[in-house]
Structure 1
Amino acid sequence: MQGKLSEIDIRSILQLIELGQRTGELFVETYPVQPPVGGGSPFFQEARSLQTVPVRSWFVFFLNGRIVYASDTNTSLARLTDYLRRYKIDVSLGSLTVSSIAAVNAPEYGYLWTLLENHTLTPVQGRSIIQSMVHEVLFDLLSLHQGSFIFELSPALSPQLTTLEIGPLLAKIMTQVQEWKQFYPHIQSPDQCLVIADMEALQATVSKNTFNAFSRYADGKTSIRQMARYLNRDILTVARAIYSYVQKGVIQVTDFPVSQAEESGAVSRPVRARDFGLWHEARKLRIVCIDDGVTIRQTVEHILSQNGYEVTAIANPLEALSLVFQIKPDLILCDIAMPELDGYELCGMLRKSTAFRQIPIVMLTGKDGFIDRVKARMVGATDYLTKPFGESELLMLVEKYIGRGYENRQPFDDSLARSLQDG
């Protein structure tokens, strides 16, 4: 089952899966859209230079017409970290040996099960976290008006800690989606962040406890969605609590975290030695390009080498499968259409290894169809780049996932670095 959301809505898709008692995965992707003309936020200013706002996508996993788990396709573990904070659990997820059940499309689920197996989380806490994760994904999906979807029958995500009935969830979340509209235009997205605009007015208006809470969360970095996670509340409850203050201008809403604004240059900050590439690095960032086309290999190698990356171009996918374990790259660029072993198979095999579970894998393809992107996501690809591509497109994508190559080969000047740090 596949199609466009202009032809069938998410609610109907979920109801069909429930009625058919289907087991499998639903993948939903939004279309790239033009940034609004005159959009004032730095996010849209940056997006306008790219001509599109980034695509978002989600996975929902089903067992016999019930939901097992849901996530967006962001490979970051920030969401799980937020939920652990709810229970005052401070653990470095990156240091964990992940459970073997970690699925290619659900690494977060594998980490959650590892925490359960280590008795860091209780089953009750785990079920609560999964339920909250499903709620927030369905809220996003039921708010969509455009995009594409595909549902594929597949073995169930296993084991299951809980399964959720679709009907009651739809009824509850559809009501929340409708009620959310009352906050427009002051609050538009649960991913927006808050900043205190008038400290004195806020302090004079609210109790000491409420003021302390606002001071803690209205920091320009914490989103409304994150506040809901920390406080164990739904986003509607949090939005209601802040709405009157936003209306009065005591609290302002920003489009994205201050940390992202700093990176884009929208917010000023102290100069650091790292900004000038003055920190000594042990090695350059390593990139492997796997493509049977000599022109593509040469082009990628030339562009990336000139920009400070260490590049290894490999024509034979079977040879590549062996070499990547020796090279230990920071990012892999992989063609889809190759003889003997295609890019989907290669990506899927690499994702089965713990060494490559978190490494960005970008598919290089001459195909620009939705199905090809879905297949790439299904086998665990991080992103894709359509051929032919230009230098700026390639560099932008690589920098998005591992940073700039030149920053790792600038000369190191001890005295200058110290003066910048001291300043």
Structure 2
Amino acid sequence: MLLTKLSPVDTSTYQTPKFIQDLKHLHVLFQQATGELVVTDELGVEPNWNIYFYLGRLVYATGGKHRVRRLARAIRQHSQNVNIQNLLDNADPTVEAWELKVIEKAIQEHQLTTEQARAVIQASIHEVFYSLSEQKQPKSSWKPLEALPFKPIVALSAMQTLDNIVVVQQKWQQSGLSHVQNMIQGFSFDLAPYVAKPDQLQIMLDADAISSKTYQSLKKILNGTNTLWDLAIIMHCSLIAVMRSLLPFVVDGIVAFREIQDWASPNWKLPSQPVKLPNRGLIACIDDSPQVGVEMRRILEPLGYEVLAITEPLQSVSTLLERKPDLIFLDLIMPNTNGYELCTFLRKTTTFQEIPIVILTGRDGMIDRVRAKMSGSSDFLSKPPDPSKVLQILRKFLKNAEAE
């Protein structure tokens, strides 16, 4: 949680996470926009993340597996006098960005000052951004809004927020703790550490390897109900300090990690699970511009298609071989290669000889169409993609598109 006031670090070995790259690119495209950026994990199995912008300024971020825990942590960090359980009992989690309603209520009831509320929101945003930057291949979809479903309390620079996250990640890398993530399957700061070998911990106490105070502290806080994020607040220290204190016990197998559920109030009346759309197939979109992938998701995902957006054309072949999409949209002009060459190469591969390949381009001339046909493409689509024309392509090449 404690993510600020870190000194500059060596950046020579740091690789900018995909989420940060994508958000910086989208920020250039939507500098003055109001809307919501919906982010999903690579496999689409975790709850969505929702990031809200007002006139290009960052105003809120939420979502993920532990949004209630995150809110409670942020409030606890900036105010010790708030009755968090009471606020949660009276919340409506079915409302979009419901946490802000909780914060507004706390302000009205003088449980939080406006300054404290701003600090709570900023802490929540920082944690969301850090969690997203840990995702390997997150998918982003931009949804423009005429108005936000809430009144903004903060208006932050998205770029400055991202820069702060980069500094924190670099600090983590420089601390030498990165190897911990390789030791723990599915590592994230949402995992809860617990004492897996209490007998071994007792042996360390008996051998004076740890003090009685350390022994009691470990048994108390490592109870399997506090995540690493929670421990940073409980222990009043950074995540780096938390992991350093646990590292010897993790290496010895005394401390292990497990996933835990988010909090929920017994007063909440949660809706039944929404009906899932039919899975009509996988559509690949190979384009070096993330925005094209965003547009394709906006068009195709509501119809039940999964969209595989690929922005690195030279890495696309291995990804396509692994996922085997039902149709491929292929950009014509890309760094290091072009759509004609890649299409010709794909057609020489047995796996892609029958898969429809549609060339995407802003150059819609007769010569381009002839050359696209000669390279083995199935059709030609102008950019930016028009929803009606995309659907025409689906109906033309995919049997299960007839119900659209």
For 1:172, the equivalent position in structure 2 comes to: 164
Q: Distance in 1 between matches of 2:76 and 2:153?
A: 20
Structure 1, unaligned runs of 5 or more: 1-7, 34-53, 261-329, 331-354, 377-423
Preserved CA contact (<8 Å) 2:88 2:102: no
Preserved CA contact (<8 Å) 1:191 1:224: yes
Give the superposition deviation at 1:218: 0.4
Q: Distance in 2 between matches of 1:29 and 1:122?
A: 33
Aligned residue pairs total 250
Q: Does 1:255 align with 2:264?
A: no
For 1:194, the equivalent position in structure 2 comes to: 193
Aligned partner letter, 2:270: I
For 1:161, the equivalent position in structure 2 comes to: 153
Q: Distance in 2 between matches of 1:223 and 1:201?
A: 26
Aligned partner letter, 2:256: V
CA-based RMSD of the aligned residues comes to: 3.6
Instruction: Report % sequence identity.
Output: 20
2:151 partner SS: coil
Give the superposition deviation at 1:70: 0.9
Q: 2:20 aligns with which of 1, 4, 11?
A: 11
Once the two structures are superposed, the pairs formed by residues 67-106 of structure 1 within 5 Å of their partners are 67-73=58-64, 77-86=68-77, 87-88=79-80, 89-91=82-84, 92-96=86-90, 104-106=95-97
Change (3 A) 1:212 1:115: farther
Give the superposition deviation at 1:73: 5.0
Change (3 A) 1:254 1:362: same
Q: Distance in 1 between matches of 2:69 and 2:277?
A: 33
Q: Distance in 1 between matches of 2:157 and 2:214?
A: 36
Q: Distance in 1 between matches of 2:227 and 2:240?
A: 13
Q: Does 1:24 align with 2:21?
A: no
Give the superposition deviation at 1:149: 1.5
Q: Distance in 2 between matches of 1:209 and 1:164?
A: 42
- The CA deviation string for residues 358-411 of structure 1, in whole angstroms up to 9 with x for no partner, is 5324332544476489779xxxxxxxxxxxxxxxxxxxxxxxxxxxxxxxxxxx
Q: Does 1:55 align with 2:46?
A: yes
Change (3 A) 1:375 1:177: farther
2:150 partner SS: coil
1:126 partner SS: helix
Q: Distance in 2 between matches of 1:29 and 1:68?
A: 19
Q: 1:116 aligns with which of 107, 123, 130?
A: 107
Q: Distance in 1 between matches of 2:302 and 2:204?
A: 50
Q: Does 1:364 align with 2:275?
A: yes
Q: Distance in 2 between matches of 1:164 and 1:212?
A: 42
Preserved CA contact (<8 Å) 1:75 1:358: no
Q: TM-score, normalised by structure 1?
A: 0.50
Q: 2:231 aligns with which of 223, 227, 234?
A: 227
Q: Distance in 1 between matches of 2:232 and 2:300?
A: 32
For 2:345, the equivalent position in structure 1 comes to: none
Once the two structures are superposed, the pairs formed by residues 204-219 of structure 1 within 5 Å of their partners are 204-206=208-210, 210-219=214-223
Preserved CA contact (<8 Å) 1:23 1:153: yes
Q: Distance in 2 between matches of 1:239 and 1:144?
A: 19
Change (3 A) 1:143 1:76: closer
For 1:185, the equivalent position in structure 2 comes to: 182
Change (3 A) 1:163 1:228: farther
Give the superposition deviation at 1:22: 2.7
Preserved CA contact (<8 Å) 1:31 1:55: no
Q: Distance in 2 between matches of 1:143 and 1:110?
A: 28
Q: Distance in 2 between matches of 1:120 and 1:83?
A: 14
Q: Distance in 1 between matches of 2:214 and 2:121?
A: 29
Change (3 A) 1:84 1:172: closer
Q: Does 1:132 align with 2:123?
A: yes
Give the superposition deviation at 1:71: 1.0
Preserved CA contact (<8 Å) 1:66 1:165: yes
Q: Distance in 1 between matches of 2:215 and 2:221?
A: 10
Aligned partner letter, 1:183: V
Preserved CA contact (<8 Å) 2:51 2:61: yes
Aligned partner letter, 1:200: Q
Q: Distance in 1 between matches of 2:244 and 2:157?
A: 27
Q: Distance in 2 between matches of 1:191 and 1:174?
A: 19
1:221 partner SS: coil
For 1:392, the equivalent position in structure 2 comes to: none
Preserved CA contact (<8 Å) 1:61 1:67: yes
Give the superposition deviation at 1:9: 2.9
Change (3 A) 1:68 1:31: same
User: Based on CA coordinates, which of the two structures has the bigger radius of gyration?
Assistant: 2
